[in-house]
Amino acid sequence: MTGRAGHTGSTPGAYAWYALALLTCINAVNYIDRNIIFVLFEPIKQELALSDTQLGWLGSAYIIVLSVAAVPLGILGDLRSRKLVIAGGVAVWSAFTALTGLTRHYWQLLFCRSMVGIGEAAYSPSAQSLVADFFPSRGRALALGIFWGGLALGGVAGIWLGGELEHLYGWRAAFMAVAIPSLLLAILTTQLRDPTREERRLSLLEIIRRLELTIWHLIQGTWPLWSLGALGLGLAYVLDRLDQVSAEGEGAIIGTALALGAAGTVARLVRRMLAARAESRQRSTALTTLDEMIDAARFVLRTPTLVWVFAGGALISFAMNGLVGWSPSFLQRELGLEPQMAGRLMGVWGLLGASLGVVFGGRLGDRLLERWPTGRLIAGSVGFIIGAPLCLLLLTTRDLNAFTPLFFGTIFLFTWYNGPVTAAIFDVVPSSIGASVVGTYVFFTHIAGDAVAYPLIGFLSDRFGIQTAMLLLPTVAVVGAFVLLLGVHTIESDMQRLREMEGR
Report the distance separating Cα 142 and Cα 419, nearest Å. 6
* pLDDT in the model for residue 267: 59
Please name the amino acid found at residue 162.
G
* pLDDT in the model for residue 471: 92
Report the distance separating Cα 387 and Cα 410, nearest Å. 5
CB 128 within 8 A of CB 6: no
Q: Where in the chain are the domains?
A: 5-501
Report the distance separating Cα 89 and Cα 93, nearest Å. 6
pTM of the predicted model as reported, rounded to 2 decimal places: 0.66
| DSSP codes, 166-220 | HHHH-HHHHHHHHHHHHHHHHHHHTTPPPSSS------HHHHHHHHT-SHHHHHH
Computed on alpha carbons and rounded to an integer, the radius of gyration of the chain in Å comes to 22
* pLDDT in the model for residue 196: 66
* pLDDT in the model for residue 202: 45
Fold of the domain spanning 5-501 = Growth Hormone; Chain: A; (1.20.1250)
Report the distance separating Cα 213 and Cα 72, nearest Å. 10
Alpha helices in 336-417 (DSSP H): 339-369, 375-394, 400-414
Q: Which residues of 113-149 are buried (b: 16+ CB within 10 A; e: fewer)?
A: bbbbbbbbbbbbbbbbbbbbbbbbbebbbbbbbbbbb
* pLDDT in the model for residue 498: 77
CB 311: neighbour CB atoms within 10 A?
A: 19
Task: Name residues of the chain where pLDDT drops below 50.
Answer: 1-9, 202-216, 218, 273-274, 276-289
CB 406 within 8 A of CB 394: yes
Please report, for residues 180, 329, 337, the alpha-carbon distance to residue 396 in angstroms, rounded to integers and kept in the order given.
38, 15, 16
Report the distance separating Cα 266 and Cα 69, nearest Å. 12
* pLDDT in the model for residue 69: 72
Element (H, E) at 423: helix 418-427
Please report, for residues 39, 128, 178, 244, 426, the alpha-carbon distance to residue 87 in angstroms, rounded to integers and kept in the order given.
27, 14, 17, 44, 23
Please name the amino acid found at residue 300.
V
CB 429 within 8 A of CB 299: yes
Q: Helix/strand/coil (H, E, C) string of 302-344? A: HCHHHHHHHHHHHHHHHHHHHHHHHHHHHHHHHCCCCHHHHHH
Report the distance separating Cα 408 and Cα 346, nearest Å. 9
Q: Could you tell me which residues come within 8 angstroms of residue 461 by beta carbon, excluding any fewer than 6 positions away?
A: 52, 326, 329, 468, 469, 470
